[in-house]
Amino acid sequence: MADPTDEGASDPSRSRSQSGSFAARDNAAVQPAAFEELMVRYQRQVIGTALRLLGNRDDARDAAQEVFYRLYKHLGRLDPGHDPGRWLYRVTVNVCYDVRRKRTELPLAEGWEAGTEAPGWDASLDMEKRRDVLKRALRRLPEKERAAVVLREVEGLSTAEVAEALGSSEATVRSQVSMAKVKLRNWCAALLGRKS
Amino acid sequence: MNEREWEQWEGALRQLRDEPIDEALSAEVRAGVLARIRRERWQRWTVWGAAAAAVLVALGITMMSRAKEAPAVQQAANAPANSRVPDPPHVVRPAQPAVLTPVAKKAARRPRVVPARPRLAKEPMKIHMMTDDPGLVIIWLVGEDSEGGGE
């Protein structure tokens, strides 16, 4: 199934897929079945972001459901000239913050603490293992830095778009991303038993 | 960790975006949202339906009460004159207009009762009778118990 959100920000075909999503959006305001089509278009963006921000499946599911429900409620109020994807990023981040606040304590990355070396892992770690380590490291970041680095580095948004989604300035976003990357680098180096 | 190694980690970070989302999770999310939308729609329709039903019931009650009132008024207006209860003494009926338009309103109107003036029983009634002669006036006293007499 085609997913317009898989396309990069500079992809010229993005506008074409967006116009398709607008038609679906207009229809979705009336028909729940058409709204399901809209959810399929944006599920990777919303669920993926929620998973990386919250770090567990159940919370991500609850957050994604809340985000899509808000999308349904706000369909008529959204500017038809704009891609709802950016609006969805902002709502996803806010809902994830809310979900996190409802949890009294989030479990840290299980079985791994900074400074402890994972046996048998070295620089030749394959990508899958690296991604696993990074996902755990992301969960250790403060929530604002995590949101900034997830939107900027993982989702590939521009600094301005991240700033809009987070409701902060571009300078703040740059600072948060920079800080987050330093921490990630240190944790990964610690995992490998090397100095960064 | 040197720059080259960190670049590999950054590449892995960017690849997180391409990780497939569990289809079961996606389906669960969609089903949950649609169920919530349907539930909300159903609740909305229930509220509107209840409100509409309440309005209809109120309307029906109003119509029924008006329908009950109308025949009673109509009966009173159409009743024959001889079947009426005789008028009480000293009742002055208002002059009836030539055309009775709204039957119900006119029929519902109650006759105005004028209180009878107290009459002095012993004081005779005086009737002044003027004659051709301005100096001569005949005064006729009429009492209750007498036939009357001239003066």
Q: What is the ipTM of this complex?
A: 0.72
Comparing alpha-carbon positions, the chain B residue that sits nearest to A182 is B6
The neighbouring-strand residues paired with B141 are B126, B149
Residues 6+ apart with CB under 8 A from A120: none
Instruction: Return the pLDDT at A120.
Output: 46
Instruction: Return the pLDDT at A83.
Output: 79
Instruction: Return the pLDDT at B43.
Output: 86
CB A137 within 8 A of CB A91: no
Dist CA B28 CA B115 (whole Å): 88
Cα distances from A125 to residues A191, B8, B18, B29, in angstroms, run 11, 10, 19, 33
Residues in chain A closer than 8 A to B8 (CB atoms): 123, 130
Dist CA A84 CA A4 (whole Å): 11
- Closest CB to B26 among A47, A52, A72: A47
Instruction: Return the pLDDT at B144.
Output: 60
Comparing alpha-carbon positions, the chain A residue that sits nearest to B35 is A32
A159 — phi, psi (to 5°)? -60, -40
Q: State whether A185 and B22 contact (CB < 8 Å).
A: no
The neighbouring-strand residues paired with B91 are B113
Of A7-11, B6-10, B20-24, B77-81, highest mean pLDDT: B20-24
CB B128 within 8 A of CB B134: no
Judged against a pLDDT cut of 70, whether residue B90 lies above it is answered with no
Instruction: Return the pLDDT at A33.
Output: 76
Per-residue three-class SS string for A66-123: HHHHHHHHHHHHCCCCCCHHHHHHHHHHHHHHHHHHHCCCCCCCCCCCCCCCCCCCCC
CB A191 within 8 A of CB B5: no
Residues in chain B closer than 8 A to A181 (CB atoms): 10
Q: B54: distance to nearest CA of chain A, Å?
A: 27
Residues 6+ apart with CB under 8 A from A122: A192
CA A156, A160, A164, A168 torsion-angle sign? positive
Higher pLDDT, B25 or B43: B25
Residues of A engaging B, defined by a Cβ cutoff of 8 Å: 32, 35-36, 39-40, 43-44, 46-48, 51-52, 57, 60-61, 64-65, 68-69, 72, 123, 127, 130-131, 134-135, 149, 153-156, 181, 184-185, 188-189, 192, 194-196
Q: State whether B30 and A39 contact (CB < 8 Å).
A: yes
Q: Kindly state whether B68 is in contact with chain A, defined as any CB-CB distance less than 8 angstroms.
A: no
Judged against a pLDDT cut of 80, whether residue B18 lies above it is answered with yes
CB A50 within 8 A of CB A67: yes
Work out the burial of residue B113: count CB atoms within 10 Å of its CB; fewer than 13 is exposed, 13-18 middle, 19 or more buried.
exposed
Q: State whether A135 and B5 contact (CB < 8 Å).
A: no
Mean pLDDT of the B17-41 span:
91
Global pTM reads 0.60
Comparing alpha-carbon positions, the chain B residue that sits nearest to A127 is B12
Q: What is the CA radius of gyration of chain A?
A: 18
**Segments in chain A below pLDDT 50:** 1-20, 108-120, 196
Mean pLDDT of the B31-55 span:
90
Continuous segment of H or E residues that includes residue B142 = strand B137-142
Dist CA A69 CA A11 (whole Å): 28
Confidence of residue B30 (pLDDT cuts 50, 70, 90): very high
Instruction: Return the pLDDT at A115.
Output: 46
Q: State whether B21 and A48 contact (CB < 8 Å).
A: yes
- Residue A156 gets the label, from left (phi > 0), alpha (psi -120 to 50) or beta, of left
Residues in chain B closer than 8 A to A65 (CB atoms): 29, 32-33, 36
Averaged pLDDT of chain B: 76
